[in-house]
Amino acid sequence: MSTGTRARGTTYREAMREALREALRSDERVFLMGEDVGRYGGCFGVSLGLLEEFGPDRVRDTPLSESAFVGAGIGAALAGMRPVVEIMTVNFSLLALDQILNNAATLLHMSGGQLPVPLVIRMTTGAGRQLAAQHSHSLESFYAHIPGIRVLAPATLEDARHVLAPALADPDPVVIFEHGSLYNAAGELDPAAGPVELDRAAVRRPGTDVSLITYGGSLPKALAAADELAADGVDAEVVDLRSLRPLDGATIAASVARTHRAVVVDEAWRTGSLAAEVSARIAEESFYELDAPVERVCSAEVPIPYARQLEEAALPQTADIVAAAHRAVD
């Protein structure tokens, strides 16, 4: 693709697939493994066609045992490979939490720097697709709590396309959360975009009246809320956290210093959420910049319902973000 053109109609799914293709082509140590990533093309179609292009040694279907294949990925990384492990949904990743927390995240530290684990774990997260409680939760805060790993939540086409290469180059394990509602999102992929800075947030829309701070699948809702607020005369800034561990506190603080109000949007449950951590950091580092209490917009504290109307009622929606911003401003 020429650098003088812009591709049209690229989806988030296709951008992630092209990132995988590039990684497999450029480094023979890279391989993809997970449930149904091969013949089926991935549960969400991200790896479709990669088996035929790279063969079963590079695109490996695994048994239905998250602990086993994440453990195999850790072993491969220790042996010098660059594995990309796909876990079908974040709920299933809890079956591999022992491997991620007690092995992947700790080995570099416990070995005095002798045993890096350059492992990338991809998983789908989030609700909004009527997949019920065992396939729909947002558990990113579980992983953002763990020292020794990076936690990323690409929310744009450019981030989906360019986050994998720097993640594979990192000596620490990197967990990438892909919100299921984003896979079909389509648009123009900027050919000038480059590798993602793994520890930096991004201001997706500048503003002066209130900061809408979010990540992942909630970013489109925050941007839509900013449009609605603009019609009401409220100039909202939208901050995409992008990196959940480490959090980019400097970008958050700079945004609050500009707007003096903050609304934190998080699809996870309110109690113990990433929104709670961001709110606490704003209180610690930017308290005297605030002209109003920090607002939080989170999911209802119930297992995600199956019925569409109940699911929508349980999740943060654009109207909820708009209302929270008006409370902060008014």
State the Cα–Cα distance between residues 151 and 141, nearest whole angstrom: 9
Pair of tokens at residue 200: 């930096």
d(CA 76, CA 121): 13
Dist CA 297 CA 263 (whole Å): 7
Task: Please provide the DSSP assignment of 253-309 as one string.
Answer: HHHHHHHS-EEEEEEEESTT-HHHHHHHHHHHHHGGG-SSPPEEEEE-SSPPPSSHH
What is d(CA 326, CA 307) in angstroms, rounded to the nearest whole number?
30
Instruction: Tell me the catalytic residues.
Output: 66, 135
Burial 235-250 (b: 16+ CB within 10 A, else e): ebbbbbbbbbbebbee
